[in-house]
Amino acid sequence: MFGWFKCRQPPSRWSLDKPLFAWNRQDDFSIRDACSGVAVFGATGSGKTSGSGRLLATSYLKAGFGFLVLCTKSDERDLWLRYCQETGRGEDVVVFSPENRYRFNALDHECRHGGRGGGLTPNIVNLIEEVLEMANGREKGAGGKGEDAYWLTARKQLLWNAVDLLVLSDDVISIPNVYQVIASAPHSPQQLGSRDWQNSSYCFHRMLVMLHRGQEGQIDERQRFDAAKVAHFFQREHLQLAEKTRSIVDSTFCAAASILDRGVLRELFSTTSNVSPSDVLNGKIVVVDLPVENFGVAGLFAGILWKKSVQLSLLRRAVGPGTRPVSIFADEAQNFITGADASFLSTCRSKLAANVYLSQNINNYIAALGAGDKATAEVESVLGNAGTLIAHANSCQRTGEYMSERIGRERQFLSNFSQSGGANDWYSAMGGEGEQNETAGFSETWEYQLQPSFYGTLRTGGQRHNRMVDAIVYTTGHEFKSSRRNWMTTTLRQAD
Ligand SMILES: Nc1ncnc2c1ncn2[C@@H]1O[C@H](COP(=O)(O)OP(=O)(O)OP(=O)(O)O)[C@@H](O)[C@H]1O
Ligand SMILES: [Mg+2]
């Protein structure tokens, strides 16, 4: 009799079909939809934050998701503290800011987290590269063009060897330490042989430790091979670069690293770790309270370091029936987008990553990635991976066209009627007799289901609209029951 109870599995708290909220009487938004990603558009004051942003945030919080919240505006921390109180998640909040006790050494965490694929130099290099890309390359659109590609490859090689040296000599992996290795690497064979230089060079000291560990059998066969490569790089390859080339390669790293190597950022990201992406995966709500509005570029660095670290942890995790969804939530997301997001978003679906990106329009994203064709392609790839698009009121032509293209065209029939005749047409029209040709019929055309100009007519909340915020919701891959299309209009109510 009890066999039935034994066999029956309790439904998982986070089963994909579980509804998080209802758009209307017929259509739900499920955990599956959340984990397909959401991008929200809307002009300033259109109701993104107080309409769809609030709805998504509070329903994900109620469902117990872990969160990484990236802040641009100074009031976002308080907004999230309020959301957490309202949804019974107050205990789970971690406010990561200079005023609090939390610290996160992102590089060291990546090196030591122990999971499969963790601790590998490429992950650490990619983490640093993503921060550098944001710092150095945005305005130039660096990354794909001729001469830029050379410097990027050379910088990557330098970083790779510096990180490997720290790993193989068992030192802490941090931006300041990577910086020290690069800044103290030898510039000439003479310098390499000089006692004074050897005594003062951090790079040389780490090479000695690496050698010693090899001799003592503290590193395995594969690492011994890597150690030989590292030694060759710093004693030959890097040293033989023309001085001008070398200074460009070094400076593309050092300029950005010097920002991370001082003040608030050094304290927060290069000392110890008492909070990490593992906490986010286990249900904490980490609010990165260095709003870009107040902290400028330091806020961008902080957000991107956290975002990349959580992304890497998500990609590594094993997913089973009881795995908790995690949301990377970014209002004003143009500040935190990077070219590498596209590849993460295309692979994160199965990892229960419920990303929410809000921004005014597509141009914001493209400008943030450096404009041009490469940036446009990256943005289209990022947005193409969002399973749900929500569009609030907007007059941006490009965003309207993008939405209308995603929604698609339909066959429409235009009726036409024409009349022609001789000089006595006016007479025919008055009911008289005369020669007259009339043609009538239909022509077929493929038109947008929703014209780009339609978005300008949506309500934007506030007292004027009785707190009602309108939106168009588009989804990839299924039909809404209420509209029998892959898009529908909906109205959200702002908080009282
Ligand atoms: N709870 C509320 N009740 C009434 N009006 C509100 C409420 N919250 C926001 N508003 C108003 O509704 C409008 C939309 O606000 P909201 O902050 O959501 O816009 P937004 O799209 O996020 O804008 P931005 O791009 O500037 O961040 C604004 O006019 C705002 O003043
Ligand atoms: Mg807003």
The C-alpha atoms of residue 437 and residue 205 are separated, in whole angstroms, by: 97
Pocket of ligand 1 (CB under 6 A): 42, 44-51, 360, 460-462, 467, 494-495
- Beta strands (DSSP E) in 235-311 are 285-288
The protein residue whose alpha carbon is closest to atom 27 in ligand 1 is 44
Which ligand 1 atom minimizes the distance to the CA of 495? 1
H or E stretch covering 40: strand 38-41
Whether 118 contacts 318, CB under 8 Å: no
pLDDT string in tens for the chain (496-residue length): 444 445 455 668 899 999 999 999 999 999 999 999 999 999 999 999 999 999 999 999 999 999 999 999 999 999 999 999 999 999 999 999 999 999 999 888 888 775 555 567 888 888 888 887 776 655 444 444 444 678 888 888 999 999 999 999 999 888 889 999 999 999 999 999 999 999 999 999 999 999 999 999 999 988 999 999 999 999 999 988 888 888 888 887 887 777 788 888 889 998 889 999 999 999 999 999 999 999 988 899 899 999 999 999 999 899 998 899 999 999 999 999 988 888 888 888 789 999 999 999 999 999 988 888 988 999 999 999 999 999 999 999 999 999 999 998 887 766 666 666 554 544 454 444 555 566 767 677 788 899 998 999 999 999 999 999 999 999 998 899 999 999 999 999 999 8
**Using CA positions, which residue lies closest to atom 6 of ligand 1?**
462
Strands (E), 268-402: 285-288, 326-330, 356-359, 388-391
- Measured from the CA of 44, which atom of ligand 1 is nearest? 25
Ligand sitting nearest the alpha carbon of 48: 1
Phi first, then psi, for residue 395 (nearest 5°) are -115, 10
Q: Residue 299 C-alpha to ligand 1 middle, in angstroms?
A: 23
Does residue 181 sit in helix, strand or coil?
Answer: helix
At residue 164, φ and ψ (nearest 5 deg) are -60, -40
**Domains of the chain in sequence order:** 15-102+296-407+451-493 (3.40.50.300), 106-263 (no CATH), 409-448 (no CATH)
Nearest-atom number in ligand 1 for the CA of 331 is 27
Give the residue from 66, 59, 45 showing the smallest Cα distance to 284.
Answer: 66
Amino acid (one-letter) located at 314: L
CA nearest 112: which of 179, 69, 162, 166?
Answer: 166
Tokens of 31: 């955990």
3-class secondary-structure state, position 470? strand
CA atoms within a 13 Å half-sphere pointing along the CA-CB vector of 18: 19
The model's pTM is: 0.87
Residue nearest to atom 31 of ligand 1 (CA): 462
Torsion of Cα atoms, 210 then 215 then 218 then 223, to 10°:
60
Alpha carbons 195 and 495: distance in angstroms, whole number: 69
Distance 25 CA to ligand 1 centre (A): 25
